Chain A
């Protein structure tokens, strides 16, 4: 007996919207508690995120990060794997980007460096996901545990490399030298004139993120590999019955997932910071989990959820700036509430909505 399918626009539009509104209402209460006007706060937040070109630019810049990490989580999710190592995979992916840029930035233009950097990011991110994948596939070590452990290992590895190997000599900063033009992705402001993004670092990586989204859609829903990934994720026993190799699916899926995480570094390292620096991932890998959950592991949903989180990041920064009483931690509380309502409490309003929408629909099938 199934609970019945809802119309798609309800499932993918209305329910997330209601969850979001609920999150904002609760956030509003918190804002009220600290003595600020919640309506003003929402106004500042939305204005900060979308009200002017630079704000939009920052929103899209953050969204680029979230698209990559969200896709990474989603791909693994389709195989029933919970990759929470996006943080470490992106971090190590940054190493791939940086090595490509450091090697080439002084000799070739950026568009020659780009494919090498993309490959570097993907290969390093994938490599970092490979070991947990292999351990899961061959030894049954739980991937949640191993990927999170690999986050910690990546922190150590990267600090070691940045302090001892890659740092500029004589600099106090654990970071590489700044890339020259050949190691920088063009800012969107420099390659189009339709929208003025001000000084926002939104760059060509956004386009790459959109391309990656389309590719993920094709792989998951239109290829045999994607079919196998989804089969394995939905029903591993049936996948084995169908002659699919779990080990192969786990490893390939995690390589794709890790590669996508790694490509997040293109946006930060090659697109914005133009140098490899410590902790540049700053939690984007973890937010990717929320983005994937909220976006229902579908690229379109992920893009929308990524933009939402981009808005929360950028609007939140403006809010903290405009209303000093609302501190950085308050912004995190609001983001947390959105994750809570959109992810963990996803089913809070569902039963009621199902009740509203089903009587009008004739039972499509006689169940059982």
Chain B
């Protein structure tokens, strides 16, 4: 680390209405280092980075780049200052080639040819220097996500970035891809670039960063040398109290099969087969985890089972009743009637209606129940009464039935959904990404609640892209790749092995009956 910091923030404040997103932030980022910024969702990490990249203007405070105080009014100025950003959601034009994407917005002149030639040379140089290999003529939409992310990094470097900000870069990557990314980041650092890594994953911080800053509720609570800290310490700093990072559970005691799925095939709106010949069973008292990189058919699988999405073929047996998912008139209301609860993957898009009050969301999907009817009208008093009970039982904060769910934090929103689905006493619970965007404290609670439910003898199907979560909760793990189940492992399976399966590397052992899906 050299004496002048690459970035220095002093007393930065930013508010959105009543929300003080950044409060008196001081930050020093050393040149040529990998600096992690960790914090829960909503801690203010993204806001801070957006200020640095010129999307937002700080209400007060100063920004110094290379020791010089600067004002960053928009992203162009940030680029001019040598700051590049790789967003969580890529800013790429899918039908364009890699080369076209790289020069987009930096075309240099009215005709493309001159710029293209130069860009091609430059890409070759970057490839050699940093090991960032991508075919410049490949169409971006056809590339796997890992490579798309590499294009984003190339874009930033092409624009002369000396400081690279990566916002939750591993969310969409397989473990192997993430490892590869980290190697690239190390090379970048060794070449003198400065890397700011935004994440909420403690493991990544420990694995790659030199220094780590922890944010909590809009404040910068600590900056530590990574080598001198531990996951536990960081977690404690993030949450403000000590937390249990590992789920405590006893081995499962599975009983008879409750849920059985046979030959499920699903085609999505684009006509692509996204779920291929899937069959599996879930027993009472066990959690079956479905691992896989996001976008390999898990979402569609859950939706088909919940009755939301039409299947091309497939049968579902719940207890002893068999439903044909392709020919019968299946809808989510029917599936609920049959005893299936469903915590959807995306609570904002599906699980909740954010403009509704808490009590209204507390009966979503169950609103037709006679319990809540008073003649032709809804029995609002009864609904609120039940909502209050759930709020108490699940420690939902603030304890208000009338507040819009949009105003609850991610963890509390998830608890609202969980309470709604669990408290109806379903035989089978479908759970998608139960802790996505949920703070550590709530994760602990949610995991505990799912284990309790298992121990009460329910069958739980858990879909998560967080491998850690699958490994710590599931009693059996099915790995999905390209719409098919490509392997089955017992609880506590080796992470590397699972990672390989998730990346589509053929299951050598063929331990279970599941067959790798044929290529479409």
Contacts and interface: CB of A to CB of B under 8 A. Distances in A.
Chains A and B directly touch (beta carbon < 8 Å): yes
Interface string B83-116: 0000000000000000000000000000000000
B403 A364 contact: yes
Contacts of B18: 4, 358, 361-364
B23 to A, nearest CB: 12
A231 B353 contact: yes
A234 B354 CA distance: 8
A231 B357 CA distance: 11
A227 interface: yes
Contact of B308 (A1, A240, A358): A240
Contact of B43 (A358, A362, A368): A368
A364 B520 CA distance: 51
Interface stretch (A52-60, A203-211, A241-249): A241-249
Nearest to B303: A241
B141 interface: no
A173 interface: no
Contacts of A282: none
B377 A222 contact: yes
Nearest to B309: A240
B377 A242 contact: no
Contacts of A366: 42, 217, 409
Contacts of A243: 307, 331-336, 365, 368
Interface string A345-368: 000000000110010011111111
Interface residues of A, number: 35
Interface string B340-371: 00101000011111111000100011011000
A103 interface: no
Nearest to A242: B365
Contacts of B272: none
Contact of A2 (B20, B306, B365, B407): B407
Interface in A191-248: 218, 222-224, 227-228, 230-231, 234-235, 237-245
Interface residues of B, number: 50
A4 B19 contact: yes
A358 B17 CA distance: 6
Given A222-B377, A243-B332, A364 B354 contact: no
Nearest to A240: B308
Interface string B35-58: 000001111000000000000000
Contact of A241 (B40, B43, B308, B354): B308
B377 A218 contact: yes
B164 to A, nearest CB: 25
A238 B364 contact: yes
B353 A224 contact: no
A222 B378 CA distance: 5
B306 A241 contact: yes
Which has the most chain A C-beta neighbours within 10 Å: B17, B20, B217, B368? B17
Nearest to B439: A368
B355 A238 contact: no
Which has the most chain A C-beta neighbours within 10 Å: B42, B217, B377, B398? B377
Contacts of A4: 17-19
B332 A240 contact: yes
Interface in A229-285: 230-231, 234-235, 237-245
B231 interface: no
A237 B349 contact: yes
A237 B334 CA distance: 17
B373 interface: yes
Given A240-B332, A358-B17, A368 B349 contact: no
Closest CB pairs A-B (n = 9): A368-B42, A243-B333, A242-B365, A4-B17, A243-B332, A363-B18, A4-B18, A241-B350, A235-B353
Interface of A: 1-5, 218, 222-224, 227-228, 230-231, 234-235, 237-245, 354-355, 358, 361-368
9 contacts: A2-B19, A2-B406, A231-B356, A241-B342, A243-B331, A243-B334, A244-B333, A365-B398, A366-B217
